[in-house]
Chains A and B, each alone.
Chain A
């Protein structure tokens, strides 16, 4: 299996622009998570899905952030409009409870908003 695939690896954009991050979870995994990593706040959970349905979005910082999972093999995290404080590494992860009890992480997207 190819693992969790995220794109792009790096994104540089200007303040006010729309940013879309993409994720393909491991086939057969029912859960998908979006995490954000910054020096100040560490790793924080933004939102997670179970069987394509958003379960908990309490970590989404504000209305500028939205996430979708239109099918079992694809999810997006969108920021519109982007701001410099959104600069971070965004990780997607997937899991199948009972299977080794762990999250499988993608390589992350390094986002820089200028």
Chain B
């Protein structure tokens, strides 16, 4: 079974609008972490946001927020006020347990295109 599922291979959004990128996860470990990374066409992996399984509040980082629904095992990324520079591939990832130095399992990614 897939540990991280991203069901949207591609998404389009108009500039200045908000967009939600979906991510569901599967783990039986009570302690885990969820991450989102951005990969622009230049190829580097850029950390965006982190949510711990015990965190009471949804994580936010500037225009990025993580809609964490623990019972549904979902960790959707919300980007507000989209910009052209947000066009990129977005990966959801999970760390299980507290060891492993943040060994991450990645989803297949969602290609986001921001249009004028």
Contacts and interface: CB of A to CB of B under 8 A. Distances in A.
Partners in one complex: yes
Interface stretch (A12-20, A40-48, A60-68, A74-82): A40-48
Interface in B1-44: 33, 35, 37, 43-44
A33 B105 CA distance: 12
Contacts, number: 58
Interface string A44-60: 11001010000110000
B106 A108 contact: no
B91 interface: yes
B35 A102 contact: yes
B101 A102 contact: no
A112 interface: no
A97 B101 contact: yes
Interface residues of B, number: 21
A101 B33 contact: yes
A48 to B, nearest CB: 6
B75 to A, nearest CB: 14
Interface of B: 33, 35, 37, 43-45, 47, 50, 52, 91, 98, 100-109
Contacts of B105: 45
Contacts of A108: 43-45
Nearest to A95: B102
Contacts of A107: 43-44
Contact of B109 (A42, A56, A101): A42
Contacts of B47: 102-104
Given A103-B47, A105-B44, A107-B44, A45 B103 contact: yes
